[in-house]
Amino acid sequence: MQNRVEINENNPKVYLAVYGTLRTGRGNWDHFLKNKSKFLGTYQTAPSYTMHTNGSYPIVVDKGETPITYELMEVEEANVVERIHGLEGCTSGIPGNPKNWYDIKRIHNDEHPDKEIYMYMMHEHPNLKIIESGNFNDN
């Protein structure tokens, strides 16, 4: 099993790829990340995913052919990472843990190849509207 995604003495920063309500200007960004993170830019993943929505929040599935638009956030406060794990149903913070509602998975960013960047995803979530563009702001 992989290491827990957290801030500690060996890992002073966590890089999160946020694609829904945690993006700048959205409700959860105000509550969880505003003045508590550093915005590093807007990017797209490789075309390997599918974005679903129930109307109020998105769900990314680790299967598909769509690039996901996300904002890269640098977080240096352990309690902020822990609160986001809770919001995302990933309280274990451990990639691949079967108890996670959303899993936390490492993704690659060509402009930041040296950073360990993590995105919350589900294994499968059928029967919801698909956002073809992979950008929740298009919803």
CATH number at residue 50: 3.10.490.10
Is residue 6 in some structural domain? no
Read off the DSSP letter of residue 109.
-
Q: How far apart are CA 139 and CA 56, in angstroms?
A: 9
Judged by phi (left if over 0) then psi (alpha if -120 to 50, else beta), residue 134 lies in left
Count of structural domains, the chain: 1
Is residue 82 in some structural domain? yes
Is residue 8 in some structural domain? no
Is residue 111 in some structural domain? yes
Is residue 117 in some structural domain? yes
pTM, 2 dp: 0.94
Is residue 5 in some structural domain? no
Residue-wise pLDDT tens for the chain (139 aa)?
A: 579 999 999 999 999 999 999 999 999 999 999 999 999 999 999 999 999 998 899 999 999 999 999 999 999 999 999 999 999 999 999 999 988 889 999 999 999 999 999 999 997 766 799 999 999 999 8
